[in-house]
Amino acid sequence: MIPALRVSGLRVAYGSIVAVDSIDLEVREGEIYGLLGPNGAGKTSALSAIEGLLRPAAGDIVIGDVDARAHPLQAKAQLGVQLQTTSFHSSLTLVEIVRLYAGLYGVTLTSAQIRELLGQINLQKEASKRFRELSGGQQQRFSLLIATIHDPALVLLDEPTAGLDPQARRQLWDRIERFRKEGRSILLTTHSMEEAQAVCDRVAIMDHGKILTVGTPAALIAAHRDDPQVRQAAHGPVTLEDVFIALTGRELRD
Amino acid sequence: MRTSLSLVLTFALPLILLVATGLGKNSAALGGTEFRISLALTVGLVSIGTVGYSLAIARDRDTGVFQRLRVTPAPTWTIMVSRWIVQLGAVLVMAIVVLVVAALFVGVTLPPQDYLFTVLVALLGSAVFLSIGQAIVGLIASADTLNAAGRLLYVPLIGLSLFGDTDRLGTTVELVSRWSPGGCLETLLSAAMGATPWSGQLWGALFASFGYTVVFAVIGIRWFRWVSH
Ligand SMILES: Nc1ncnc2c1ncn2[C@@H]1O[C@H](COP(=O)(O)OP(=O)(O)O)[C@@H](O)[C@H]1O
Ligand SMILES: [Mg+2]
């Protein structure tokens, strides 16, 4: 079975700043893969390169069986994307935005189908509102709808639960689980260890542009349980967060 | 809120100018009725093509609208071109409204072919002012700066063009004014409305307008960034 995403030797630089320093990662089919790291670790830069928003300095990106660097438009057609910060045309209503993006992805939807889709995410009453008039949770649900409007095999979510209340967060986790049941693969970034443990099959811990370790949350805990720094970080039984802190250090990031 | 304000500015400002320049005794000093119409059209073009366009692009760049579009399989150039088409459509509507108001309330009616010429010149003018707008968003990354200073653009673009037909401020000012983007546009508009005969100066204005479009478009596209930081 070919992986949903295979990245090798990926390097992203902004001038002299190396944001992503030769990383490899592989998201298997039907897998929820978490990219964990403190602020500035390079998570968004790595996703941006995969999404085709910036040109990497080096590396290969294969989405399904498409070489994303050689065939960017074909790759984008297979990819569902939710950016870390996103917005839609301020003059359009939700219905119009759905129609626009469906069109951009080559999907035709009737008005009844659009209403049905908005109903599924509890936004039927907001159908003729503008995006900026929605609450944070509503915006989140809506941009996830847009991200999956074309039924993509691989979905990239950049800090999808940042700023959400616990109810909205749980609901999003359920949606992500449902995506997987529908046969999709998911690559998400987060700094919530709770989230990583709750939804991710495997996680990679990233810092300073490098991937430090990869594995299931349980395997990472087992592998690093006896590191002196992990022991020192732990208050009681070792958690994923203890492993994270031990690997990425204690100093604050912006 | 901001959208509706700019909409008002876009349509109300040219019309207010059109009517207000006809009030008072000194109106003739500014020029004839054709001059008033061309001034109104120029203001509308600056408002839609330069100020409105650059503010909208800067805001959408800041909030991530463009990045979201760029992860779709639509080719990147279609994102910009679709914006230009929207602005051209707005210019078309604005020009028709101004000409209708001029016919109904100012008493200026033109032969049919002059209406056609006027609208064509307005569209040519859109290219000039849109490319200036593009250069501005290419060179200024911050939406805040543009929000604060964007409307100041009216001063050089319109203010300058006012003195193209008077040497009261000296011939240098007159020369700069006449060959400024707004001045060229007014020269062409008044010819299109049949107020001035076709002359060598019109060719000059036409060439200058093409030149402005090319130079500003190249600057605006070459230095454009999709993200503001
Ligand atoms: N457009 C940019 N220009 C210059 N440096 C950037 C840019 N975007 C990100 N960086 C830098 O690259 C590094 C990684 O940033 P980012 O990928 O956003 O990390 P994360 O998403 O993990 O917080 C940081 O040091 C950040 O300051
Ligand atoms: Mg980030």
Residues of A within 8 A of B70 (CB-CB) are: 52-53
CB neighbour class for B172 (10 Å; exposed up to 12, middle 13-18, buried from 19): exposed
Rounded distance between C-alpha atoms, residue A158 and residue A155, angstroms: 10
User: Which residue has a Cα nearest atom 24 of ligand 1?
Assistant: A40
Average pLDDT over residues A115-120: 96
Contact in structure between A156 and A81 (CB atoms under 8 Å): yes
Q: Are A105 and A149 in contact (CB under 8 A)?
A: yes
Q: Is the pLDDT of residue B156 over 60?
A: yes
Q: Which of B72, B77, B82 to mutate to test the interface with A (most CBs of A within 10 A)?
A: B72
Ligand that lies nearest to the alpha carbon of residue A35, given by its number in the listed order: 1
Calculate what percentage of chain A has a pLDDT beyond 70: 100
pLDDT for the residue numbered B113:
92
Distance, in angstroms, between B65 CA and closest chain A CA? 5
Residue of B190, B226, B52, B14 lying closest to B132 (CA atoms): B52
Instruction: Say how far apart CA B1 and CA A22 lie, in whole Å.
Output: 46
Chain length of chain A: 254
Residue A54 Cα to ligand 2 middle (Å)? 14
Q: What is the pTM of this model?
A: 0.90
| Residue A22 contacts B where some CB pair is shorter than 8 Å | no
- Which residue bears the tokens 């299931």? A216
Window 47-66 of B, Cβ < 8 Å to A: 59-60, 63-65
Nearest to B98 by CA among B7, B201, B180, B16: B16
Q: Give the pLDDT score at B1.
A: 41
pLDDT, one tens digit per residue, over A20-29 is: 999 999 999 9
Tokens of A12: 């992203």
Cα separation of A12 and A21, whole Å?
7
CB distance from A178 to chain B under 8 Å? no
List, as one string, the DSSP characters of A190-217.
Answer: ES-HHHHHHH-SEEEEEETTEEEEEE-H
Q: Which of B6, B55, B60, B68 to mutate to test the interface with A (most CBs of A within 10 A)?
A: B68
Task: Work out which ligand 1 atom sits closest to the CA atom of A209.
Answer: 14
pLDDT band for B30, please (50, 70, 90 cuts): low
pLDDT band at B28 (very low <50, low <70, confident <90, very high): low
Can you tell me which atom of ligand 1 is nearest the CA of A37? Answer: 22
ipTM over 0.90: yes
Residue of A45, A139, A164, A48 whose CA lies nearest to A88? A139
Please identify, by atom number, the ligand 1 atom nearest to the C-alpha of residue A158: 21
